[in-house]
């Protein structure tokens, strides 16, 4: 059986599928990273992606343009994130509860909105045609390299954007003024406020960025990954992304690697599910189990560090 599995893994289309599966998780994980850096836990990722995915499909259907579809999804995602911000920052709703509310709303609300706008029930399969899906690109030179070309070339535009965004978000957080402010607010809001940073404004901005990223993730899911929108579209990817953020230690690059781990696990599951003697359900549970283990390892290592630092300080004082 191991041979079977290994022969499956060392195929280019398998590696290709890892990237495809990782991209939406990565969008959401980056969204979680930015929000968390500003001290806001965005648990509404799941709902925002589901709703913006729906609007992505709708906008692209109305305008027959995938670009406007993606833009629409981004706008809707941003608005939802800002709405969360309004309740959390302005009206003092606990941000976690605001996120849960968004998720509650998204579950049935999307079905309702879809019916309201189109009269369709439950999915948009009849609305989407291939010309309004997000197109794939063949990268000019890389495409002709044997194995690497097959793996890296031919992805959807947004897949590339997802991985480029890892770098962009890193630059944003660590090389720009606004990134510095975001991190300062997340580290210590009072200290940031005392030097004249408007905490609420920065948190709004972080949430908006988070919403943009969720919007892209939603559009990716409905306009490329599953080719149309349906209620089970996101299937917990928003929550997985929260885990990827935590496991990636809240850093963009770390989040990318943990997202890839989830991508790998899910790709494996699709491959293995047809095999004899393998339970696809148990394999599906693996990524979540891995997350908890990752969380534990991360938490344990930080605990050790803190303890060591405290011990060092105590020693210094003695001297």
Partner 1 sequence: MNNRRMLMFEIIRGAAAILVALIVAMIFIFICSDQPFEALRYMLVSPLVSNGSISMNSIYTIFAAMTPIIFTGLGVCVMFSSNQFNLGGEGCVMLGGFIAALVGIYCSTGTYLDMVIAVLIASIVCAVVLYIPAVLKVKLGASEMVSSLMINYIIMYVVLHFLNNVFADGSKGSVQTFPFAETARIPQLVAGGSKLTWGFILALIFTVLVALFMYRTRWGYSIRMIGINQNFAKYSGMKVGAVIILSQIIGGFLSGMGGALEVLGRYEVFLWRDLPGYGWTGVTVAILAKNNPIFIPIAAFFISYLNRGCTLMATYSDVPAEMVDIIQAVIFLFFAAEKFLAKYRQKLVVAGAKEELSQKNAAAAEGGQK
- Footprint of partner 1 (CB under 8 A): 41, 43, 87, 90-94, 96-98, 100-109, 111-112, 115-116, 121, 236, 239, 242-243, 246, 279, 281-282, 284-285, 288-289, 291-292, 295-296, 298-300, 302-303
Instruction: Give the residue with the Cβ less far from partner 1, 67 or 249.
Output: 249
- Min CB(100)–partner 1 separation in Å: 6
Instruction: Give the residue with the Cβ less far from partner 1, 7 or 104.
Output: 104
Q: Which tokens go with 275?
A: 């095999």
Instruction: Give the residue with the Cβ less far from partner 1, 33 or 102.
Output: 102
Instruction: Give the residue with the Cβ less far from partner 1, 194 or 281.
Output: 281
Q: Kindly provide the b/e burial profile for residues 63-85, where b requires at least 16 CB atoms within 10 angstroms of the residue's own CB.
A: eeebeebbbbbbbbbbbbbbbbb
Q: Kindly provide the b/e burial profile for residues 134-164, where b requires at least 16 CB atoms within 10 angstroms of the residue's own CB.
A: beeeeeeeeeeeeeebbbbbbbbbbbbbbbe
User: Distance between CA 153 and CA 16 in Å, rounded?
Assistant: 9
- Contact partners, residue 304, CB within 8 Å, separation at least 6: none
- Min CB(216)–partner 1 separation in Å: 22
Instruction: Give the residue with the Cβ less far from partner 1, 80 or 133.
Output: 80
Instruction: Give the residue with the Cβ less far from partner 1, 68 or 111.
Output: 111
- Min CB(91)–partner 1 separation in Å: 4
User: Distance between CA 117 and CA 307 in Å, rounded?
Assistant: 57
- Min CB(273)–partner 1 separation in Å: 12
- Min CB(101)–partner 1 separation in Å: 5
- Min CB(218)–partner 1 separation in Å: 17
DSSP code, position 225: I
User: Distance between CA 248 and CA 286 in Å, rounded?
Assistant: 17
């Amino acid at each position: 059986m191991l041979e079977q599995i290994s022969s499956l893994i060392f195929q280019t289309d398998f590696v290709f599928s890892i990237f495809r599966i990782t991209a939406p998780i990565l969008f959401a994980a980056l969204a979680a990273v930015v929000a968390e850096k500003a001290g806001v836990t965005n648990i509404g990722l799941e709902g925002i992606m589901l709703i913006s995915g729906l609007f992505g499909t709708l906008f692209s259907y109305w305008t027959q343009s995938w670009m406007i579809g993606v833009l629409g999804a981004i706008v809707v995602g941003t608005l939802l994130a800002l709405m969360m911000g309004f309740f959390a920052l302005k009206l003092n709703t606990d941000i976690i509860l605001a996120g849960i509310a968004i998720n509650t709303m998204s579950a049935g609300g999307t079905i309702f909105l879809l019916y309201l706008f189109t009269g369709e029930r439950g999915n948009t399969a009849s609305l989407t045609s291939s010309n309004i899906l997000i197109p794939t690109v063949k990268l000019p030179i890389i495409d002709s390299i044997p194995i690497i070309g097959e793996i890296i070339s031919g992805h959807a535009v947004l897949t590339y954007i997802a991985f480029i965004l890892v770098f962009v978000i890193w630059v944003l957080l660590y090389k720009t003024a606004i990134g510095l402010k975001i991190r300062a607010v997340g580290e210590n809001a009072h200290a940031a406020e005392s030097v004249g940073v408007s905490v609420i404004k920065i948190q709004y901005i972080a949430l908006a960025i988070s919403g943009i990223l969720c919007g892209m993730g939603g559009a990716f899911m409905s306009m490329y990954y599953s080719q149309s929108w349906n209620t089970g579209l996101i299937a917990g990817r928003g929550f997985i992304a929260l885990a990827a953020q935590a496991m990636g230690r809240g850093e963009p690059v770390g989040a990318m690697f943990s997202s890839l781990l989830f991508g790998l696990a899910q790709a494996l599951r699709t491959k293995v599910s047809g095999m004899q003697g393998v339970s696809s359900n148990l394999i599906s549970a693996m990524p979540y189990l891995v997350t908890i283990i990752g969380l534990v390892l991360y938490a344990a290592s930080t605990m050790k560090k803190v303890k060591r630092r405290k011990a060092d300080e105590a020693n210094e004082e003695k001297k």
